């Protein structure tokens, strides 16, 4: 990966041919030795600038695979809406032929039945509407037609449409999972914990996901602990055969940057080291005013998944429908106390969303010369009451319309002899597209990275890393002629393959201070030419500041001379 930076430098130098470029020196200090307490030493730091404008840098799939997963996972590309994927999955399940469904386990067959429930095929036995069958016989109207009138749908319409089922699966199952709620990102004053909210109902896609073709989706959406300590069971138990990228995948960016590393000091032995410079220029690094600043090639035109196995768990005991209208708008049904990923709660949410289309109305059933024998009234909240007249039979008890539907579904889930708690629905869907094209992925990625280029800070440092040594501080000269000392940030430290850091990054004191006790900070993360990440302090001749290294040593640093415009001499003393 270091070869990438040298390629960039070579291209920049060639592009600059015709000008006079001072040779680039990589300082080595064979005499560097640790300072003892009370000892001091004078060192010189130089600032070099080589501006590169509009240089194209291509990162291949091989390059990306060589980076730590932790870096790739921190590069958020887009929030992928999952509604279409969910719909595609449920549609495939619902459209299984009877022969195909018969090959599946009983819970899966029951799920297929639930997705295809209509007034014409629903079995009311064991539900609150069981009496409707007898009443229908008494009034001379088929029970399916009576149920259809109550639900205000056609006799052969799905009781829960697939688009509604899809919406609720996304909001209840996916969005309730920690991985569907937040993602990692840069630490900022607005996001001090580095966590960002995910678009509801979406999958946060990172560069790591793209590089490994989503192979860790099972891990990401498996069992997890919510912030309140609740255990989420997860819902993806297997996922294989992702087709998202090809081997020719690459990213090409157009950059404007000072391509040379900064010169810094390892305070422990006062060696002069190099600090990679690109991450600190992240806000101005990319030529985003050029619509072609980012190219992503090698994405499959229509990303697909070969197989995904989804599991939905049910409550251990039967969850009855409510029998009271209050407290509104839910009534007293215990289903609303269940977590949103439970089967019963999902079905109740689907039913409630379906009944939002129901208008307040009374359905009247008559016989003979318009003699009313049965009346069903539903109010604006979905509360449904039943009345019978002229001794035609006993009416069902009042109930919310969605309670009625989730009870029907819950009873049907246990057809085939399944006991309560055994109705775990685990189904596999095959060859499903993700519901998004590669063009959409590219467009969303480009837009998001234009708005939040800092997402790429650690990535850029890793790809174009010019760091050599273990500098704690480094010298920066701003274009207005001011001299600065910048304190190292952990994003400047190379990462290891497992996502850790090559050296300690937890300093006992960060930044620069006016006193030897390191209690009066004089540095800040003020904006200097786009950088607001590093602690920095302006130096003038004769000024002394104090700082510490990672091992706990404390040092004074005094600017004693400026031999030339881009050179400073510091007197550094170890004070403890």
- The band of 558, judged by pLDDT with boundaries at 50, 70 and 90, is very high
Res 514: pLDDT: 97
Pairing of strands 425-433, 473-477: unpaired
Res 166: pLDDT: 93
The span from the CA of 128 to the CA of 124, in Å, is: 8
Mean pLDDT along residues 123-136: 80
The span from the CA of 207 to the CA of 43, in Å, is: 41
Q: Tens digits of per-residue pLDDT, 137-163?
A: 777 888 899 889 988 999 999 999 999
Mean pLDDT along residues 260-270: 91
Res 464: pLDDT: 65
Mean pLDDT along residues 209-220: 88
**pLDDT value at 20 more than 70:** no
The span from the CA of 409 to the CA of 124, in Å, is: 10
List Cβ neighbours of 209 (8 Å cut-off, separation of 6 or more). 73, 77, 216, 217, 244
The span from the CA of 525 to the CA of 454, in Å, is: 15
The span from the CA of 264 to the CA of 261, in Å, is: 9
Kindly report whether the peptide bond that precedes residue 451 is cis, defined as omega within 30 degrees of 0.
no
Res 5: pLDDT: 41
- The band of 2, judged by pLDDT with boundaries at 50, 70 and 90, is very low
Which residue is it, tokens 């990462």?
A: 495
Burial (CB count within 10 angstroms: exposed 0-12, middle 13-18, buried 19+), residue 23: exposed
- DSSP output for 512-566: -BSSTTS-SB--B---BTTB-SS-EEEE-TT-EEEEE-TTS-EEEEEEEEEEETT
- The band of 28, judged by pLDDT with boundaries at 50, 70 and 90, is very low
- As a whole number of Å, the CA-based R_g of the chain is 33
**471 vs 427, higher pLDDT:** 471
Res 4: pLDDT: 45
Mean pLDDT along residues 310-323: 88
Q: Tens digits of per-residue pLDDT, 43-74?
A: 999 998 887 788 888 889 988 888 888 888 88
- The first and second tokens of residue 117, run together, are 């429930």
Please work out, in degrees rounded to the nearest 5, the angle formed at the alpha carbon of residue 573 by the alpha carbons of 569 and 576.
155
Q: Other CB atoms closer than 10 Å to residue 70's CB: what's the count?
A: 18
Res 415: pLDDT: 76
For the chain, percent of residues with pLDDT exceeding 90: 38
Mean pLDDT along residues 317-324: 88
Res 26: pLDDT: 39
Res 433: pLDDT: 87
Mean pLDDT along residues 355-366: 89
The span from the CA of 149 to the CA of 215, in Å, is: 47
**pLDDT value at 396 more than 60:** yes
Mean pLDDT along residues 153-181: 93
**pLDDT value at 79 more than 80:** yes
Q: What does pTM read for this prediction? A: 0.73
Give me the residue spans of the domains in the chain: 2-72+251-296+462-574, 118-157+314-423
Spatial contact of 344 and 338, defined as CB atoms under 8 Å apart: yes
Q: Which helix (H) or strand (E) holds 448?
A: helix 438-451
Res 391: pLDDT: 79
Res 265: pLDDT: 95
**22 vs 294, higher pLDDT:** 294
Res 31: pLDDT: 57
Res 393: pLDDT: 80
- The least confident of 117-126, 360-369, 410-419 is 410-419
Q: What's the distance, CA 523 to chain centroid? A: 34
């Amino acid at each position: 990966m270091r070869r990438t930076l040298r390629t960039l430098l070579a291209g920049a130098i060639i592009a600059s041919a015709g000008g006079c470029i001072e040779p680039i020196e990589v300082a080595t200090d064979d005499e560097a030795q640790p300072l003892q307490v009370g000892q001091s030493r004078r060192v010189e730091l130089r600032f070099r600038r080589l501006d590169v404008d509009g240089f194209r840098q291509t990162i291949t799939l091989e390059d990306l695979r060589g980076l730590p997963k932790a870096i790739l996972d921190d590069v958020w590309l887009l929030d992928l809406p999952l509604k279409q994927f969910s719909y595609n999955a449920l549609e495939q399940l619902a459209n299984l032929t009877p022969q195909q469904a018969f090959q599946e386990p009983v819970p899966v067959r029951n799920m297929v039945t639930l997705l295809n429930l209509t007034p014409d095929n629903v079995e009311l036995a064991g539900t609150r509407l069981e009496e409707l069958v007898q009443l229908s016989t008494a009034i001379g109207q088929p029970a399916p037609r009576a149920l259809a009138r109550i639900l205000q749908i056609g006799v052969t319409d799905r009781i829960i449409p697939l688009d509604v089922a899809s919406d609720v699966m996304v909001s209840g199952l996916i969005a309730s999972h920690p991985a569907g709620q937040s993602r990692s990102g840069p630490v900022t004053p607005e996001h001090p914990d580095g966590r960002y909210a995910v678009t509801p109902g979406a999958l946060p896609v990172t560069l790591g996901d793209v590089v490994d073709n989503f192979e860790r989706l099972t891990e990401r959406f498996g069992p997890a602990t919510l912030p309140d300590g609740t255990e989420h069971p997860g819902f993806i138990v297997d996922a294989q055969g992702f087709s998202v990228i090809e081997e020719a995948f690459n990213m090409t960016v157009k950059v404007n940057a000072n391509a040379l590393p900064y010169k810094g000091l390892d305070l422990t032995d006062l060696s002069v080291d190099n600090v990679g410079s690109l991450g600190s220029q992240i806000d101005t690094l990319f030529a985003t005013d050029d619509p072609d600043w980012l190219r992503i090639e090698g994405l499959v035109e229509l990303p697909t998944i070969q197989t995904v196995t989804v599991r939905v768990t049910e409550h251990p005991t039967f969850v009855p429908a409510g029998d009271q209208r209050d407290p509104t708008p839910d009534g007293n049904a215990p289903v609303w106390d269940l977590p949103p990923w439970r089967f019963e709660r999902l079905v109740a949410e689907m039913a409630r969303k379906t009944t939002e289309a129901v208008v307040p109305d009374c359905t009247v059933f008559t016989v003979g010369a318009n003699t009313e024998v049965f009346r069903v009234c539903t109010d604006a909240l979905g509360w449904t009451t039943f009345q019978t007249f002229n001794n035609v039979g006993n009416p069902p008890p009042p109930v919310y319309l969605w309670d009625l539907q989730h009870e029907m579904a819950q009873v049907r889930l246990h057809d085939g002899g399944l006991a309560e708690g055994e109705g775990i629905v685990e189904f596999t869907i095959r060859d499903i597209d993700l519901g998004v094209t590669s063009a959409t992925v590219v467009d969303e990625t480009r837009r998001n990275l234009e708005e939040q280029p800092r997402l790429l800070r650690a990535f850029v440092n890793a790809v174009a890393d010019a760091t050599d040594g273990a500098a704690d501080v480094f010298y920066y000269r701003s274009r207005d002629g001011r001299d600065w000392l910048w304190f190292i940030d952990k994003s400047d430290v190379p990462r290891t393959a497992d996502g850790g850091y090559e050296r300690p990054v937890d300093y006992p004191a960060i930044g620069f201070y006016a006193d030897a006790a390191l209690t009066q900070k004089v540095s800040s993360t003020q904006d200097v030419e786009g950088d607001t990440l590093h602690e920095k302090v302006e130096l003038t001749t004769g000024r002394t500041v104090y700082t510490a290294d990672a091992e706990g040593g404390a040092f004074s640093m005094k600017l004693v001379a400026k031999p030339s415009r881009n050179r400073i001499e510091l007197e550094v003393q170890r004070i403890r």
